[in-house]
Amino acid sequence: MKNFSSQDIQELSKYYRANLINSVTGYKPANLIGTKSADGKTNLAVFSSVVHLGANPALIGMIVRPASVPRHTYENILETGFYTINHIHEAFVEQAHFTSANFDKTDSEFDAVKLTAEYISDFHAPFVQESKVKIGMKFLQEMPIELNGTIMIIGQIEYLILPGEIIAEDGNVDLSAVKDVCVSGLESYSQVGKLAKFEYARVRNLPEFN
């Protein structure tokens, strides 16, 4: 067994430390965030920090890295107030990964990796046509995290688009049915598979564990 102290972690190389700490927290959702600037330039970026914040109202958060360098996704969200969250599937995982390259703001990652920008109704931000689970978001709040300079973006769901057949009667979504992927570390992607579904946990229905 390896045993890392906080001092040991600080002394690791930057790349090794980033991979270690990013992957040790477990599998994370793999999403593409779609935005468009006020002057019409589209942007697409892979994010693994999307998290459910609440269902009523329907809020989703995500962490944006420090704005010490240009962050096109963050800039576009603040500028326009809208963005999309698009699930990544096995069919285009490599294309999705390479949206993380350092493109100029004038270059569209949609074009660079050959994914299709799709617009729904009058919603400003582009969706990924190839994604089967897409969420249109309205920006509500940003919360700076002073400890490391990152920023939590909080938004509310304006559109939710997904195949009806993957939604169970109780509202649960079977993401394995659309071949979702998840991410660990900075560059490793894994398949999503359904393991089990249990009843709502109450003290009175606690099983007899051995």
**pLDDT tens per residue, range 50-76:** 999 999 999 999 999 887 777 899 999
* pTM, 2 dp: 0.94
pLDDT of residue 185: 84
What CATH fold (topology level) applies to the domain 25-193? Pnp Oxidase; Chain A (2.30.110)
- Closest by CA position to 178, among listed 132, 125, 129, 138: 132
pLDDT of residue 67: 75
Domain layout of the chain by residue ranges: 25-193
Rounded CA gap, 38 and 42, in Å? 10
pLDDT of residue 137: 98
Strands 181-184 and 28-29: antiparallel
pLDDT of residue 80: 97
Backbone angles phi, psi at 105, to 5 degrees: -65, -25
pLDDT of residue 48: 94
* Regions of the chain short of the pLDDT cut 70: none
